[in-house]
Structure 1
Amino acid sequence: MSISRRNLLAAGVGAGLLTACGGNTGRGGGGSGPRLSQWYHQYGEPGTEQAVQRYAAAFKKAHVTVQWRPGNYDQQTAAALLTDSGPDVFEVNGPTLDQIQGGQVVDLTGLLAGVEDDFNPAVLTPKTYDGRIWAVPQVIDTQLLYYRKSLLKDAGVEPPTTLDGLVDAAGALTTGKVKGLFLGNDGGAGVLGGTPLYAAGLQLVTDEGDVGFDDPAAARTLGKLHRLYAGRSLLLGAPTDWSDPSALVQGLTAMQWSGLWALPQVQKELGDDFGVLPFPGDGPQGRPAVPVGAYGAAVSARGGHREAAEEYVKWLWVDRTDYQQDFALSYGFHIPARISLARKAARLRKGAAADVVRFTTDHGYAQPLLWTPASQTAYQDALSRIIRDGADPDRELKAVVGKVSGELGRVKKNAKKNAKKKS
């Protein structure tokens, strides 16, 4: 199974059994020093595996072997970090609080000395805990709303700038053969995640570490997503899901939620007949919302060559800006994690790509580090019931707030225990 960077942005980590697949499929690095093992999840973009092998081979201070890991990568790495046979260096969708608090990953703050401000804060912040940086962001992936200019013009519909406007536009654009909006084959429950909450001016977790959506605005906003579903203006049962732009380019829908990675294909198929938008704001405190994510390079605390591993991470993801730009833009379409590289990239300086960079800079948010898997599952299940079944948003969210509050309390308690151990 081929897994793309885009899966990072889908809400939640899919359940599955821990697999032992993967193995040593990469050639070793050119160095004659310590032997380092580096893990990546299996990307879907052609050429990515060959690129990371090439980077590893260019590092002369260690012999780096790349492992390309298919299957449920997050579960594989979580299990491997508890053993002595795991990777020295690995990319991670996180790391998680449990991994940080459990001392499974190395503090990498010093690697970014002098360049920390050049990393986009939207993706660096979720990798920062207790004032320390635990992984170096590699690229930025983001989601956005694509729309067909010609279909909106023919229907006399303006590109929506509010959630109410999106609901109305989806209805007006729905005809016998074309649906107004595609949010995925499940109606949006799987991909939207916390985006509607941020669009309502709320958060998943506040900066103080409390529940960020214990507010009537949350129920009001999520209820409007059910209006989309119940109004039959959503495309359901498309041949491909939200991450593939085929529904938009084939004329099955006038608007589609997808990712930045889809932009080259959309541009090739539609030319200038498309535009992009952030998820529109809702309510008096509303604001546009752009979900972003980034895998990061981390170092295992149980690795046998931690100093060499840290030096390799700094060389690849801090010093070698040429490799960083190549990784972001030569295999698929992504934004470099470094602000300076994003500004230099010619492919990101005009048209829809420039709009996406601006939206990401102005409205980007990442899933907070304190948002645990248990919180994610509780919220995701409730969101699905609200959208598809018309469940009462107030009742559903009340239960979620209780679950998330308990999770945040557990996290704070663990943090106090760790602080006492250090003292």
Structure 2
Amino acid sequence: MSAQSNSHWDRRTLLRAAAGLAVAAPLAACGSNNGRGGGGSGKQLQQYFHAYGEAGVEQAVKRYAKAYSKAGVSTQWITGADYETKLFAALLTQQAPDVFEFHPQIQLVKSGQVADLTDIIEPVKDDFNPADIASHSYDGKIYGVRMIDDPQFLFYRKSMLQKANVAVPTTLEELIEAAAKLTTPKVKGLFLGNDLHAVEAPLIWSAGAETLTAKNEIGYHTDGVVEGLRQLRKLFTSGSLLLDAPADFWDPSAISQGLCAIQFCGMWAMPVMQQALGDDLGVLPFPKVGSKGRPSVYNGGWSMFVNAKGGDVDAAKEYVKWLWIDQKQYQEDFATSYGFHIPPRTSIAARADKLKSGLPAEGVKLFNTYGHFDNIGWTQAMWSAWDSVIADCVRKGGDPEAALDKADRTVGRELKKLFG
């Protein structure tokens, strides 16, 4: 359940194109529309999900909806790379979904698009990971229910490191050296995704910086981040980085098919990797960058939101409360039966036996120790600005300071718009 579809797009690309809110898309193209619940009350609700890559997720989502007795719930299962485009286009129409999955984004709050869910979350708030509550909160209110936490790591082939006499890297410099030693005519040392965008935020955090400060000011423009960008450029030109994998970082095929020795990917892919590689698999955080750095683990994931402009907001909130707060067995099933994810609820995570030993337990430990969550104030335009930083100074070899100065202008404009 990789929070990716099986087409080639990464989970954060979803965050970026929402600037195109006015794009119109025919809703008939959105995917299947079954999985309707009982609906004895005559009420009808529609929920939007993007097409998860792992088998069984769609059936599970529709099974949960069918079990709901207070309204008929239809599911739009949206395949392809354009979930976000279709979602935001639909939100502008009369056919908008009542409930949809997405990521915490301040624009959705400020535009009045998502409903305040504080009243349904407050009674169980202490059972949620505090960071999940914080990343969905603005001005004292909570605007989404986290469904799954999706930590992302570097996975490595133990036997390949052993054969090349390479120690598990703890710094970005060591990772670059390891990648060089692990590269052979047939295998690249490292895969960080085809465009490197997946490691933008980990690079910032591992350099000891933040995307935004607690005061919603630029936090990423530091000497450590500049050094990290220079090191990434060195890696990009080294010949030891896999840059043309058949699928992007979210798909485990690069490491499981032997195309690379180390791959950046998510916990969701662990079962598939383990099936292919057995015990020959280790996991480590994104390594520290520079002297002020620290390892980091990016926590992706998905959350459920209620359309504040929908036809029956109260009925939609009642459904979200039923499924994502009351039905703990469904929440555990969703998190652990279709790939591995960490349940955001402490009580559910505590009983998730599949995550208690071996590699999954190591992943949970790294998540708890080094995890970083999305900042609700970090917008699509800010992500795009950072895409340009990677393009300008890593892919094209430009000056990191100049690339960051350019990003600062975009991010600064956004911050002024949002926070004055």
Report if TM-score (shorter chain) is over 0.5: yes
Corresponding residue number in structure 1 for 2:72: 63
3-state SS of 2:100 partner: strand
Q: How many residues align?
A: 409
Higher deviation after alignment, 319-328 or 5-14: 5-14
Could you say what the CA RMSD is over the residues aligned between the two structures, in angstroms? 2.0
Q: Determine the C-alpha separation between the residues in 1 that align with 2:270 and 2:95.
A: 40
Corresponding residue number in structure 2 for 1:3: 5
Q: Sort the Cα spacing of 1:12 and 1:84 in 2 relative to 1 into closer, same or farther, 3 A.
A: closer
Q: TM-score, normalised by structure 2?
A: 0.92
Q: Determine the C-alpha separation between the residues in 1 that align with 2:252 and 2:79.
A: 24
2:109 aligned with 1:100? yes
- 2:360 is matched with which residue: 349, 353, 357? 353
Corresponding residue number in structure 2 for 1:181: 190
User: Map of 1:121-200 to 2, 5 A cutoff?
Assistant: 121-186=130-195, 188=196, 190-200=197-207
Corresponding residue number in structure 2 for 1:116: 125
Q: Mind listing any 5+ residue stretches in structure 2 that lack a counterpart?
A: none
Q: Determine the C-alpha separation between the residues in 2 that align with 1:163 and 1:11.
A: 27
- 2:37 is matched with which residue: 2, 5, 29? 29
- 2:49 is matched with which residue: 40, 47, 51? 40
Shift of 1:211: 0.5
Q: Determine the C-alpha separation between the residues in 1 that align with 2:109 and 2:264.
A: 33
Aligned partners of 2:25 and 2:90 also within 8 Å: no
Shift of 1:313: 0.6
Q: Determine the C-alpha separation between the residues in 2 that align with 1:292 and 1:4.
A: 20
Aligned-partner residue type, residue 160 of structure 1: P
Corresponding residue number in structure 2 for 1:314: 321
Aligned-partner residue type, residue 16 of structure 2: V
Q: Determine the C-alpha separation between the residues in 1 that align with 2:250 and 2:32.
A: 29
Aligned partners of 2:224 and 2:293 also within 8 Å: no
Higher deviation after alignment, 404-413 or 81-90: 81-90
- 1:78 is matched with which residue: 72, 81, 88? 88
Corresponding residue number in structure 2 for 1:419: none
Q: Sort the Cα spacing of 1:27 and 1:176 in 2 relative to 1 into closer, same or farther, 3 A.
A: closer
Aligned partners of 1:84 and 1:302 also within 8 Å: no
Shift of 1:14: 5.2
Aligned partners of 1:12 and 1:377 also within 8 Å: no
Q: TM-score, normalised by structure 1?
A: 0.91
Corresponding residue number in structure 2 for 1:269: 276
Q: Determine the C-alpha separation between the residues in 1 that align with 2:65 and 2:238.
A: 52
Q: Determine the C-alpha separation between the residues in 1 that align with 2:163 and 2:62.
A: 49
Q: Mind listing any 5+ residue stretches in structure 1 that lack a counterpart?
A: 414-423
Aligned partners of 2:153 and 2:267 also within 8 Å: yes
3-state SS of 2:163 partner: helix
Q: Determine the C-alpha separation between the residues in 2 that align with 1:11 and 1:61.
A: 31
Q: Deviations over 1:25-79 (max 9, x none)?
A: 1132113112222221222222211111111111112222222223422222223
Q: Determine the C-alpha separation between the residues in 1 that align with 2:53 and 2:187.
A: 29
Q: Sort the Cα spacing of 1:237 and 1:70 in 2 relative to 1 into closer, same or farther, 3 A.
A: closer
User: Map of 1:278-293 to 2, 5 A cutoff?
Assistant: 278-293=285-300
Q: Determine the C-alpha separation between the residues in 1 that align with 2:257 and 2:72.
A: 47
Q: Determine the C-alpha separation between the residues in 2 that align with 1:247 and 1:23.
A: 29
Q: Deviations over 1:225-266 (max 9, x none)?
A: 111111111122233332222222232221111111221121
User: Map of 1:193-272 to 2, 5 A cutoff?
Assistant: 193-272=200-279
Shift of 1:166: 0.7
Shift of 1:109: 0.7
Runs of 4+ displaced beyond 6 Å: none
Q: Determine the C-alpha separation between the residues in 1 that align with 2:194 and 2:122.
A: 44
Corresponding residue number in structure 2 for 1:400: 407
- 1:19 is matched with which residue: 12, 16, 25? 25
Identity within the alignment, %:
43
